[in-house]
């Protein structure tokens, strides 16, 4: 039974696959060769087949009725505003449009290098892994699993995929759409249920790569179980630095972006703004007051604030109280449960919240630092005010953080931007007056940096990195010259 996050009533019945029911999934993956379902030598026509599938699926998602179906399905299973849910569908549709035509075959583009003698040439190819697995999260039930799934299929892999059980109906409906758009039904295996059956499938079959999006705890477990054969897009305690040069005429815009970064989707984005370092000049220009006003206009009626699916209200408020115990910390806004709602107790329901923490106290001890930089996957952020003399201390704080997904540096000052960007590592970093942390379209890389197991999503570079490996075939076809003689042994 899947309960409605808004009222706790059962509204969907979904399969709950058990460990003793995965034999068919194991058998399916065991039939897949390491060379994949297609590669540049084998069945290359399938690259064109998937380009046509992309074309048909994108056309379907342009149909207002189909688009609205998926928007409502997203909202019912993972409540978020209409604009946020529609954004998932639009980004996904544009990715499909990008790879229609010749886009899929271009993903397998290789290169050649001349050899040492006539007839010799080395050729580099992007090669599939064969049997692969995808474990997708709850917070983006359409965009994340679909983009990773399509990348796996483009490169010739056979994926088994599992989404979070609360939202797996969304992925199932998309796979059914792919079937109508020409995808062979045997190309994807879908698992409904919780983690144990998927773990059994991954460890009991020749799955050669698992792509995981979710918590860092589960990511570490999968890395251990698979001897490191996992590409991860996991936790993100994401920072924003608001520079010293934000003028009074720009504060409204910067405040709006900060509000969106911290609280859109009720803060349930791996790219959400977790900590905001705000220069005292921006504070003086009223940035925090404007952020407070924007946070307070969010409400349940339009789902601009909603249930938190991975933290309970009690747990959220306990973390808020722990941060407030630090010397000098203070509540800026929020910090109380939502009122007049029917959200079940197993989920969180709190107002958008911000806690101010002095930079000195944050950096005073490892214990303080760990507390302040704990990722709360909900509508909660830490605000730290700083001055000109504190910039390098902020960069030190960014260096000490354990995960490096997204970041933003908000400033016009090119010297300031260069100093921060050159001394930090986050994989998706926006820099400039319009910088944000939550930009995840398919026109640029979205993923962590500084981690050899890091996974990107959606772009050609991300797909090649995650879903293919490099293979070199050295062609050496011309016979030796007629005057060739047997050389001495070496």
Among 143, 200, 233, 375, the one annotated catalytic: 233
Catalytic annotation on 233? yes
Of 307, 297, 302, 304, whose CA–CA distance to 349 is shortest?
307
Return contacts of 476-480, CB within 8 angstroms, 24+ apart.
476/115, 476/119, 476/120, 477/119, 478/117, 478/118, 478/119, 478/120
Among 54, 270, 276, 398, the one annotated catalytic: 270
Catalytic annotation on 54? no
Active-site residue list: 233, 270
């Amino acid at each position: 039974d899947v309960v409605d996050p808004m009222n706790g009533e059962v509204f969907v019945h979904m399969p709950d696959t058990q460990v003793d029911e995965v034999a068919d999934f194991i058998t399916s993956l065991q039939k897949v060769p390491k060379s994949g379902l297609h590669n540049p030598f084998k069945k290359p026509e399938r690259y064109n087949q998937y380009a046509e599938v992309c074309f048909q699926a994108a056309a379907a998602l342009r149909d207002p009725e189909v688009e609205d179906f998926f928007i409502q399905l997203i909202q019912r299973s993972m409540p978020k505003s209409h604009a946020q849910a529609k954004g998932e569908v639009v980004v996904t549709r544009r990715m499909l449009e990008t790879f229609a035509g010749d886009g899929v075959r271009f993903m397998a583009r290789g290169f050649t290098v001349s050899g040492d003698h006539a007839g010799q040439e080395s050729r580099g190819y992007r090669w599939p892994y064969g049997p692969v697995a995808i474990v997708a999260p709850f917070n983006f039930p359409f965009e994340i699993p679909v983009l990773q799934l399509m990348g796996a299929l483009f490169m010739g892999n056979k994926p088994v995929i599992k989404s979070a059980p609360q939202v797996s109906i969304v992925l199932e409906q998309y796979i059914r759409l792919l079937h109508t758009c020409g995808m062979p039904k045997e190309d994807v295996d879908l698992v409904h249920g919780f983690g144990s059956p998927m773990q059994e499938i991954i460890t009991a079959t020749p799955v050669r790569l698992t792509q995981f999006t979710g918590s860092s705890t589960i990511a570490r477990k999968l890395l251990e179980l698979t001897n490191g054969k996992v590409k991860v897009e996991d936790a993100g305690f994401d920072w924003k630095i608001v520079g010293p040069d934000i003028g009074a005429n720009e504060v409204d815009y910067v405040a709006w972006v900060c509000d969106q970064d911290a609280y859109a989707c009720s803060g349930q984005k791996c790219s959400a703004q977790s900590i905001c370092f705000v220069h005292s000049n921006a504070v003086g220009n009223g940035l925090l007051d404007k952020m407070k006003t924007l946070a307070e206009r969010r409400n349940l009626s339009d789902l601009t604030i909603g249930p938190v699916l991975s933290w309970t209200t009690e747990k959220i408020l306990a973390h808020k109280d722990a941060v407030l115990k630090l010397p000098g910390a203070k509540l800026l806004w929020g910090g109380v449960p939502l009122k007049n709602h029917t959200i079940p107790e197993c989920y969180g329901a709190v107002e958008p919240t911000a806690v101010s923490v002095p930079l000195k106290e944050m950096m005073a001890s490892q214990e303080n630092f760990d507390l302040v930089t704990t990722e709360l996957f909900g509508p909660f952020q830490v605000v730290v005010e700083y001055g000109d003399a504190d910039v390098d201390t902020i960069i030190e704080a960014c260096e000490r953080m354990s995960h490096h997904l997204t970041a933003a540096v908000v400033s016009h000052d090119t010297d300031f931007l260069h100093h921060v960007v050159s001394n930090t590592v986050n994989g998706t970093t926006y820099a400039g007056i319009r910088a944000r942390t939550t930009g995840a379209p398919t026109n640029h890389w979205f993923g962590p940096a500084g981690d050899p197991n890091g996974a990107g999503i959606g772009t050609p570079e991300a797909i090649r990195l995650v879903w293919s490996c490099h293979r070199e075939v050295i062609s050496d076809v011309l016979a030796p010259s007629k005057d060739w003689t047997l050389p001495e042994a070496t």
